[in-house]
Amino acid sequence: MDSAFPFVLLLPQSQTEHVLVRYLTRLGTEVERRVELVAFEQDEDGVRATLRSPDGGQETANVSYLIACDGAHSRVRHALSVSFSGDDYPTDFMTADVQVDWKLPRDEQAFFFAAEGMLGFFPLSRGRAALIADIGPAQGDHPPLGEPALEDLQAIFNARTPGGVLSDPIWRVYYRVHCRQAERYQVGRVFLVVCRMRTISAGSSD
């Protein structure tokens, strides 16, 4: 491309979150972790949200708008009775942010298609990479719970690439890809937001 930046820039999820949190802090907004939305109601003037803190206590927040980015099984979307038509891809996937030591270039994307399945290599900084691989036909209504063991990641990596050593995983998850579309993305003062071009349902939580 005729561009001053003829490359793809990839950031680990942890770094992306750090950038966003730092920006919100400059705007005077504090990000609260492990706070659960229990219920909400809205009128023409705003939204009244009931929140549960990590210690089990509840509080009410009165806000102008509610923006929901809570996954394929969105509690907010269900409360709004917004349909989510479509279907799942019939395969489960795993992804991980790991240190990769191998002989191939560490600054180039790579894709491998083996008899065992597909694996994508997306370079990050300092020798790390995001790995994505399919793990076989989907079983049940949700992807596997928990996170892939490093030994399982290594076995998949060895079977589908020229090989190398994986270490120091800082983020890993099983997930399922949905080919779906919400019927609406706004109901009054409540908005449904999708973070990515595809919606991912993680096995551990949404």
Find the CATH number of the domain harbouring 97: 3.30.70.2450
The overall average pLDDT reported for the chain is 88
In a domain, 101, yes or no: yes
CA distance 99 to 117: 21
CA distance 129 to 122: 5
In a domain, 55, yes or no: yes
Domain limits at 153?
87-178
In a domain, 49, yes or no: yes
Find the CATH number of the domain harbouring 186: 3.50.50.60
CA distance 136 to 118: 10
Residue 186 has pLDDT above 80, yes or no: yes
Give 7-48 pLDDT, tens digit per residue.
Answer: 777 787 788 889 999 999 999 999 999 999 999 999 999 999
Give 165-185 pLDDT, tens digit per residue.
Answer: 999 998 899 988 877 888 999
Give 113-161 pLDDT, tens digit per residue.
Answer: 999 999 999 999 888 999 999 998 888 777 888 899 999 999 999 999 9
Total domains, the chain: 2
On whether both 165 and 185 belong to a single domain, the answer is no
On whether both 148 and 82 belong to a single domain, the answer is no
Average pLDDT over residues 191-205: 53
3-state secondary structure 187-206: ECCEEECCCCCCEEEECCCC
CA distance 100 to 168: 9
Beta strands in the chain (DSSP E): 36-43, 46-52, 58-63, 66-68, 84-101, 110-114, 117-123, 128-137, 165-182, 186-187, 190-192, 199-202
On whether both 168 and 186 belong to a single domain, the answer is no
On whether both 160 and 171 belong to a single domain, the answer is yes
Give 152-162 pLDDT, tens digit per residue.
Answer: 999 999 999 99
On whether both 93 and 62 belong to a single domain, the answer is no
